Amino acid sequence: MTTDTRESLMSAARAAVQAHGYNALSFRELAKEIGIKSASVHYHFPTKGDLAAALASRYADDASTFLEGLLAAPQDHRSLMSAYTAVFRAALEDDNRMCLCGILSAEYDDLPEQVRVEVDRFTATNTRWLVRVLAARHPKSAPKELEGRALAIFASIEGAQLVARGRRNIHSFDEIIQAYMASGLFD
Amino acid sequence: MTTDTRESLMSAARAAVQAHGYNALSFRELAKEIGIKSASVHYHFPTKGDLAAALASRYADDASTFLEGLLAAPQDHRSLMSAYTAVFRAALEDDNRMCLCGILSAEYDDLPEQVRVEVDRFTATNTRWLVRVLAARHPKSAPKELEGRALAIFASIEGAQLVARGRRNIHSFDEIIQAYMASGLFD
DNA sequence: ACCTGAACACCGTTCAAGT
DNA sequence: ACCTGAACACCGTTCAAGT
Reply yes or no on whether the pLDDT at A17 is more than 90.
yes
| Per-residue pLDDT at A74 | 86
d(CA B63, CA B4) in angstroms, rounded, equals: 23
d(CA B53, CA B67) in angstroms, rounded, equals: 21
A175 touches chain B (CB under 8 A): yes
Residue B121 in contact with residue B36, Cβ under 8 Å? no
Query: How many CB atoms within 10 Å of residue A185?
Result: 23
| Per-residue pLDDT at A3 | 75
Reply yes or no on whether the pLDDT at A1 is more than 70.
no
Nearest to B154 among A96, A163, A180 (CB): A163
- SS3 of chain B: the string is CCCCHHHHHHHHHHHHHHHHCCCCCCHHHHHHHHCCCHHHHHHHCCCHHHHHHHHHHHHHHHHHHHHHHHHHCCCCHHHHHHHHHHHHHHHHHCCCCCCHHHHHHHCHHHCCHHHHHHHHHHHHHHHHHHHHHHHHHCCCCCHHHHHHHHHHHHHHHHHHHHHHHHCCCHHHHHHHHHHHHHHCCCC
A156 touches chain B (CB under 8 A): yes
Residue B187 in contact with residue A130, Cβ under 8 Å? no
Reply yes or no on whether the pLDDT at A2 is more than 90.
no
A125 touches chain B (CB under 8 A): no
- Distance from residue A55 (CA) to nucleotide D13 (C1'), in Å? 20
Residue A62 in contact with residue A77, Cβ under 8 Å? no
Reply yes or no on whether the pLDDT at A134 is more than 90.
yes
Residue B51 in contact with residue B45, Cβ under 8 Å? yes
Q: Which of residues 141-180 of B touch strand D (CB under 7 A)?
A: none
A113 touches chain B (CB under 8 A): no
Nearest to B175 among A102, A151, A165 (CB): A151
A111 touches chain B (CB under 8 A): no
B117 touches chain A (CB under 8 A): no
| Per-residue pLDDT at B2 | 53
B120 touches chain A (CB under 8 A): yes
B172 CA: distance to closest CA in chain A (Å): 8
From chain B residues 66-95, the ones with a CB under 8 A of any chain A CB are none
**B68 Cα distance to chain centroid:** 16
- Distance from residue A139 (CA) to nucleotide D4 (C1'), in Å? 70
| Per-residue pLDDT at B74 | 86
Chain C bases closer than 7 A to any CB of the protein: 2-6, 10-16
Reply yes or no on whether the pLDDT at A157 is more than 80.
yes
List chain B residues with CB under 8 Å of A119: 166
Nearest-CA residue of chain B relative to A166? Answer: B105
**A122 Cα distance to chain centroid:** 7
Chain D bases closer than 7 A to any CB of the protein: 2-6, 10-16
List chain B residues with CB under 8 Å of A148: 175-176, 178-179
Give the mean pLDDT of chain A: 96
Torsion sign across C-alpha atoms B117, B122, B123, B125 = positive
B53 CA: distance to closest CA in chain A (Å): 15
- Distance from residue A36 (CA) to nucleotide C6 (C1'), in Å? 16
List chain B residues with CB under 8 Å of A104: 166
Cβ burial of B1 (10 Å; 0-12, 13-18, 19+) is: exposed
What does pLDDT average to in each consecutive run of 10 residues of chain B (187 residues)?
85 98 98 97 98 98 97 94 98 97 96 97 98 96 97 98 95 98 97
Reply yes or no on whether the pLDDT at A53 is more than 70.
yes
